[in-house]
Amino acid sequence: MSYADSVLSINDDLPIKTDKKIHSGKVRAVYWLSATDSQRLIKQKGYAVPDDTPLAIMVISDRLSAFDCIWHAEGGLQGVPGKGAALNSISSHWFSLFKQHGLADSHILDIPHPLVWIVQKAQPIMIEAICRQYITGSMWRDYAKGERVFCGNALPDGLQKDQRLPDVLFTPSTKGILSGIPGVPEADDVNVARQTVNDYYDQFGFRQQDDVAHYESLLKQGFDLINDELAKVKQIFVDTKFEFGYVKDHDGNAKMIYMDEVGTPDSSRMWDADAYAQGRVVENSKEGFRQALLSYVPDADVLLNKERMDERETLAANTALPLDMLMSVSKTYTGMAEKITGKPLSLSDNPRQDIIDTLHTGYGLIR
pLDDT (tens digit per residue) in 132-155 = 999 998 899 999 999 999 988 899
Give the bridge partners for 119, in sequence order. 56, 108
Check if the beta carbon of residue 83 is closer than 8 Å to that of residue 115: no
pLDDT at 348 (0 to 100): 87
Class of domain 3-122+340-361 (CATH, top level): alpha beta
Write the pLDDT tens digit of every residue in 257-306: 999 999 999 999 999 999 999 999 999 999 999 999 999 999 999 999 98
219-249 residues labelled b (16+ CB within 10 A) or e (exposed): beebbebbbebbeeeebbbbbbbbbbbbbbe
Q: What is the mean pLDDT of residues 312-327?
A: 97
Instruction: Give, for 196, the enclosing helix (H) or strand (E).
Output: helix 194-199
CB neighbour list of residue 173: distance below 8 Å, 6 or more residues apart: 127, 128, 130, 189, 190, 191, 192
The proportion of the chain whose per-residue pLDDT surpasses 70, expressed as a percent, equals 99
pLDDT at 2 (0 to 100): 64
Check if the beta carbon of residue 349 is closer than 8 Å to that of residue 85: no
Confidence class for position 324, pLDDT limits 50, 70, 90: very high
pLDDT at 1 (0 to 100): 47
Q: Which of 38-42, 124-128, 182-186 has the lowest mean pLDDT?
A: 182-186
Check if the beta carbon of residue 7 is closer than 8 Å to that of residue 79: yes
Write the pLDDT tens digit of every residue in 41-83: 999 999 999 999 999 999 999 999 999 999 999 999 999 999 9
Comparing 250 with 312, which gets the higher pLDDT? 312
d(CA 183, CA 286): 32
pLDDT at 85 (0 to 100): 97
Q: What is the mean pLDDT of residues 84-96?
A: 97
Looking at domain 123-277, its CATH superfamily turns out to be ATP-grasp fold, B domain (3.30.470.20)
CA 71 to chain centre: 18
Give the residue range(s) of CATH 3.30.470.20 domains in the chain.
Answer: 123-277
